[in-house]
Structure 1
Amino acid sequence: MIGIGSFFFKYRNVVFIFLYLTLFLPSPAIADPVSEGWITVAVGLLISLCGQLVRGATIGMSYIIRGGRDGRVYAEGLVTEGIFSHARNPLYIGNILMLLGMGILANSLLFVLVVMPFFCFIYQSIVLAEEAFLRNKFGENYDLYCKDTNRWMLRLQGIGKTFRSMRFNWKRWIVKEYNTLFIWLTAMVLLFFFRYPAFVPSGEHEKHMLLMVMVGCLSIGYVFVRWNKKRGPWRDVN
C-alpha cells in the first residue's frame, strides 16, 4: 500500500482532476431532479461546505507544509497544533467531504457508489505512505502524536478552545487554497446549470449569459489572487 500511496501522491493532482470530471458523466440519479432536486442540492451543498470549512480552518490556523518534494512525500516539521490536534489528516477529511458533497450535488449514483470509494482508497494509500515517512523522520514524537489523534475521525472535544487560542490567517487561507476554491466553485456552478435546469433561467441566451458572468467572475478572482501571490503584497504570506 505504501508503494501505491507514493505513486498516487506523485500524480494526485492529475488523478483528482479526472475524478472531478466524472461528476459530469451520465449516471443513474440519487433523487428525481425535478421533484426532489432540492434534497440533493441542500445535502450536497451542506456536506461540501463542511469540507471547505474543515480545510479553511486547518489552513488558516496552522498550515502544514506537506506538499511533497520532487514528487515524493516530504514534511519540514511535525505540526500538531490547530485542527491537527483533532485529527491527523484534516485536509484530506475536508477533501473527502467536499467531493462527496459534490457527488450528491451532481445527483450521481455512479459517483457516490463507485468514484468515492476509489477516491477514499487513493487517500488511504497516500496517508499510509505519509505516515511511513513521518514515523521514520520523527520517530517517537510521531508515535505519541498518533496515540492522541485519530487518522480519519475529527475529534470535536476541545475544538472551541482551539479556535479561541489561535488567530485565523485569512490571507494564508486564500493564498494556499485559491486553486481548490476555483475548481470547487466552478464545478458547482456548472453542476447547477447542467443538472438543475429549474434553478437557472429557461431562455438559452439568458442561461449562457449568466453562466459566462459567473465563470468570468470566478476567473477574475482567481487571476487577482494569483497575481497578488506571485507579484503583489501576498508574496510572503505563509
Structure 2
Amino acid sequence: MGLHREFEAQGQWLFRWRSVLPFLFTPLIVLAVADMHWPFGSARLHTIWEYACLTVSLLGLAIRVFVAGCVPAGTSGRNTKGQCAASLNTTGLYSLTRHPLYLGNYLIGLGAMMTPSVWWLPVIYSISFVAYYERIMFAEEAFLRKQFGVRFSTWAEVTPAFLPNFARWNAPSLGFSVRSAMRREYTALFVIIASHSALEIAGHAVVEHRYVLEAKWAFLLLAGAACYFTLRGLKKYSRLLNVSGR
C-alpha cells in the first residue's frame, strides 16, 4: 500500500474514533493537576487565568456554533461511521479555512489543557492534535476530491487547511439559524462547562486541600446542565429545533 492510500486508511480509522482522543489525555491531565499551583502563588491571578482559559474554549465553541448555524443539511455532521457530504461548503468560515470545525475542537481542548498552568500539557496536546487530525483531514479531503473533483481542488488551492486566512472572507451562502446551531452544539457547550468546573474543583483540592466549587462555577454548571437536558429533550421529542434544509 502506498503512502497516499495508507494515510487515507489511517485517517478513516481515526475519523471513526476521533471522539476518543480527549479520553487518551486523562492520565496526563491527572499528572498536570497533581502539579497544579496558583500562578506566582496568587489566587487572584489564578481566577484571571481560569477565565482566560475558559475564553479560549468558548472561542472554539463560537467557531463550531457559527459553522453549525450556517451549513446546509448533510454536511459538517457528527457522523462516525464514514465520510458524507451532500454539498461542498466553501463560504462562511469555510472560506477562511478548510477545516473550521477542527480548529474549533482544537481551541476547545486547548483552553482545558491550559487550565492547570503547566507548560508541557498544552504543548503535548498541540503536537498530538496535529498528529491525530492530520490523517483525518487527509482522509476527508481525499473523499471530497473524489466527490466534487475540480470544484474541490480549486477551493483547496486557495484556502488554508487549518490556520484561517481572514483576507479570504466570503459571507456564508445561508443565513445563521439559531435553532440549527442549538440542535448541533448543545453537547459541546455542556462539555466545556463541565470540564472546566471539574478542573476548578481539582485545582482547589490540590492547592488548598479542600473540595469547593465557587458560586459562579456552580451557577454555570447548573445553567449548562439545564440547557443540555432541555435542548436534548427538544431534539429527541419534538421538531422545534428542526429547520428545513439544515
TM-score (norm 2): 0.80
Q: Which residue of structure 2 lines up, in the alignment, with residue 232 of structure 1? A: 238
Shift of 1:193: 2.0
Judged with a 3 Å threshold, the aligned counterparts in structure 2 of structure 1 residues 42 and 173 are, in CA distance, closer, same or farther, namely: same
Structure 1 match to 2:107: 97
Matched, 1:222 2:193: no
Aligned counterpart in structure 2 of residue 13 of structure 1, from 14, 19, 31: 19
Q: Distance in 2 between matches of 1:235 and 1:39?
A: 36
Shift of 1:197: 6.6
Conserved? CA contact 1:23–1:103, under 8 Å? no
Q: 1:188 aligns with which of 196, 204, 209?
A: 196
Question: Match for 2:157 among 147, 150, 157?
Answer: 147
Give the one of 29, 33, 41 matched to 1:34: 41
- Aligned partners of 1:107 and 1:195 also within 8 Å: no
Change (3 A) 1:101 1:203: closer
Give unmatched runs, 5+ long, in structure 1. none
TM-fit CA distance, 1:33:
6.7
SS in 2 for 1:162: coil
2:91 maps to what in 1? 81
1:130 is displaced (CA, Å) by 0.4
* Paired amino acid for 2:230: F
Count of aligned positions: 232
Question: 2:69 matched to which residue of 1?
Answer: 60
Q: Aligned-pair distance for 1:66?
A: 4.0
Gaps of 5+ in 2: 1-6
Q: 1:74 to 1:68 in 2, by over 3 A?
A: farther
Rate the CA distance shift 1:22–1:83 in 2: closer, same or farther, 3 A: farther
Q: Percent identity at matched positions?
A: 23
Q: Deviations over 1:56-84 (max 9, x none)?
A: 22222225624476712222221112211
Conserved in 2, the CA contact under 8 Å of 1:67 and 1:73? no
- Would the alpha carbon gap of residues 217 and 33 (structure 1) be closer, same or farther in structure 2, given more than 3 Å must change? farther
* Stretches (4+) displaced over 4 A: 28-31, 208-214
Q: Which residue of 2 aligns with 1:47?
A: 56
Question: Over aligned residues, Cα RMSD in angstroms?
Answer: 3.2
Q: 1:217 to 1:71 in 2, by over 3 A?
A: same
Structure 1 pair 3/37, CA: closer, same or farther in 2 (3 Å)?
same
Cα distance in 2 for residues equivalent to 1:209 and 1:42: 13
